[in-house]
Structure 1
Amino acid sequence: MVWWSICSKARFAISSMAAQRTSIVYGDSFQCSSFSVLSNPFTGFPRKFSGLNTTRFANVCDNYNQLGFISSLNGSKNCSANYRRNPILKLEGSNSAQACIQECTSHEEKNVAKTYHGRDFFEEMKQRFLSFKKHKYLKELEHFQALAQAQSPEVMVIACVDSRICPSNILGFQPGETFMIRNVANLVPPIHNGPSETNAALEFAVNTLEVEDILIIGHSDCGGIQALMTMQEGNSSNLTEKWVATAKAAKLKTKADVAHLSFEQQCRYCEKESINRSLLNLLTYPWIEDRVRKESLSLHGGYYDLFNCTFEKWTLDYRESSIDEEGGKYTIKDRSFWC
């Protein structure tokens, strides 16, 4: 019980101290304060900041002294008095307090921290964020502050939710460059299927942001396409099957064209066929078809091969494609292969 009481006081001291400190860059680490959102990026203080609350800070320091956690403060044992003389301070806990804190932290990590393959993923995520802020955000501050006010991407990307497919990583997209939505099997439903998060994003990207290109990215070993190729005819209560049924035309064409191939090869064929069917489905939206016809918007397909790390890219030939015929007809152009 005594150990738990001491540790509880240690945790209180840490949290209170953290709440009082300002944003400071220590060598290679960047520490944030409660002022981060409104702070001047060069000083770490709020733009309308009138000074630290010295009385509150001094009271907190007095509490630390009573708890016995602060044995030195720039060489002084009196935290509040020294702070009133010099408000820019470095707080140092006593050796015994530090030992207790470390023991508490170790105990909590063993019992609370979630681990993924032996590591605390959220702690790793935190370090990645802090690295991004220091090495990317602060170095391109003007760019990111402009993005904070508005976005004007030129390209919309529709990609799969598969965890192995990260378009920004694979294709090097930077913040503000692309407007992106991801769904199972990177599908675009036709307009008559009704509202969905995908066509809502399309409407915003085309009518409000006025993107100039739409790129649909598919990939090898797609679980959504495998579900499409194995699902039985008839109504299904499975949500995934209900969604991938959007690409039924791609499955039918695959079965008609390559039924003699293995199931794996059929899936590869269907993965690309579904991209082209989604490109055709884009033309069912009048506001998309109008812009494509006026050549202010272009529609593209892309395919990432996970096994070989290659990428294919092509463009829908609007003049040679049609959604009027049964199942529609498409022609592609400007095919390129990146390897």
Structure 2
Amino acid sequence: MPEFRRLLDGYRRFHSEAWKEKRERWARLSEGQSPSLLVIACSDSRVDPAQIFDVDPGEIFVVRNVAALVPPFETSPGQHGVSAALEFAIQFLKVRHVVVLGHAMCGGCRVALDQSLRGAAPGEGGFVAQWIAMLDQAREPIAARLGTEGRAAEQAMEHAAVAVSLANLRSFPCVQEKEASGALKLHGSYFSISDGMLHVLDEATATFIETE
């Protein structure tokens, strides 16, 4: 597989160059991690938080999934992967900031908007449909105002997804407690792929402001 061989070639370059340049840092990291930030990002191959924020290994704890979504707090039986990662980062690593990183041209948000996977069987789109169903309530006013096609509607959905994840984060008791005490701060952000610009959410005005 040429694709996998390219990964191995990349590893060899990393080990011979980047790893050696920061060998002391890697030695310290082998003893444990203490990141101060948790970034919740999309699995999209174009949106790499470490590259966007230009950070070194060990500086950010990252959770990636379709559309950078955080489910609401719940205690029902099941495999709660995102909730487990949040719990680990907040309660055990004691991160001080949580950043939700949405992005332009998000396929998950587009499917949430047009509902093209609604009714699909698991393994054929059903898992994705069930996951992004947590955006259904946010979708309704967007679809009514802007329709379900076009960049204006898609961007509104992408922005709304960041707000939904922040609201769901605040349904976790540990987040409520730490945010109230000032031990934890939540941030919403949005990355524009075409121009490489990052926008930060001003929750007071519900607007995304371009970072200079």
Scaled to the shorter chain, the TM-score interval is 0.7 to 0.9
Structure 1 residue 139: Cα displacement? 2.4
Separation in structure 1 between the aligned mates of residue 64 and residue 162 of structure 2, nearest angstrom:
13
Aligned to 2:200, the other structure's residue is in SS state: strand
Map 1:44-59; keep pairs closer than 5 Å: none
Separation in structure 1 between the aligned mates of residue 40 and residue 102 of structure 2, nearest angstrom:
9
Structure with more contact order per residue of length (Cα contacts < 8 Å, sep ≥ 6): 2
In the superposition, relative to structure 1, how do residues 125 and 262 fare at CA in structure 2: closer, same or farther (>3 Å)?
closer
Match status 1:131 vs 2:13: yes
Aligned to 1:138, the other structure's residue is in SS state: helix
Separation in structure 1 between the aligned mates of residue 75 and residue 68 of structure 2, nearest angstrom:
16
What's the RMSD between the two structures over aligned residues?
2.3
| Aligned 8 A contact 1:159 1:216 in 2 | yes
| Aligned 8 A contact 1:218 1:302 in 2 | yes
Match status 1:230 vs 2:114: yes
Separation in structure 2 between the aligned mates of residue 162 and residue 173 of structure 1, nearest angstrom:
19
Match status 1:142 vs 2:24: yes
Q: What does residue 192 of structure 2 align with?
A: 305
Separation in structure 2 between the aligned mates of residue 273 and residue 142 of structure 1, nearest angstrom:
42
Match status 1:201 vs 2:94: no
TM-score by length of 2: 0.87
Separation in structure 2 between the aligned mates of residue 157 and residue 308 of structure 1, nearest angstrom:
21
| Aligned 8 A contact 1:279 1:316 in 2 | no
- The residue identity in structure 2 corresponding to 1:161 is S
| Aligned 8 A contact 1:299 1:316 in 2 | no
In the superposition, relative to structure 1, how do residues 314 and 275 fare at CA in structure 2: closer, same or farther (>3 Å)?
same
What percentage of residue pairs aligned between the two structures are identical? 28
TM-score by length of 1: 0.56
CA displacement 1:63-121 (0-9 Å, x = unmatched)? xxxxxxxxxxxxxxxxxxxxxxxxxxxxxxxxxxxxxxxxxxxxxxxxxxx2xxxxx33
In the superposition, relative to structure 1, how do residues 233 and 178 fare at CA in structure 2: closer, same or farther (>3 Å)?
closer
Map 1:1-339; keep pairs closer than 5 Å: 114=1, 120-192=2-74, 194=76, 195-231=79-115, 237=121, 238-256=126-144, 258-259=145-146, 263-314=150-201, 316=203, 332=206, 336-338=209-211
Largest Rg, 1 or 2 = 1
Structure 1 unaligned segments of length 5 or more: list them.
1-113, 115-119, 318-330
| Aligned 8 A contact 1:299 1:315 in 2 | no
Aligned to 2:21, the other structure's residue is in SS state: coil
CA displacement 1:22-43 (0-9 Å, x = unmatched)? xxxxxxxxxxxxxxxxxxxxxx
| Aligned 8 A contact 1:310 1:337 in 2 | yes
In the superposition, relative to structure 1, how do residues 250 and 182 fare at CA in structure 2: closer, same or farther (>3 Å)?
same
Separation in structure 2 between the aligned mates of residue 315 and residue 178 of structure 1, nearest angstrom:
22
Structure 1 residue 252: Cα displacement? 1.9
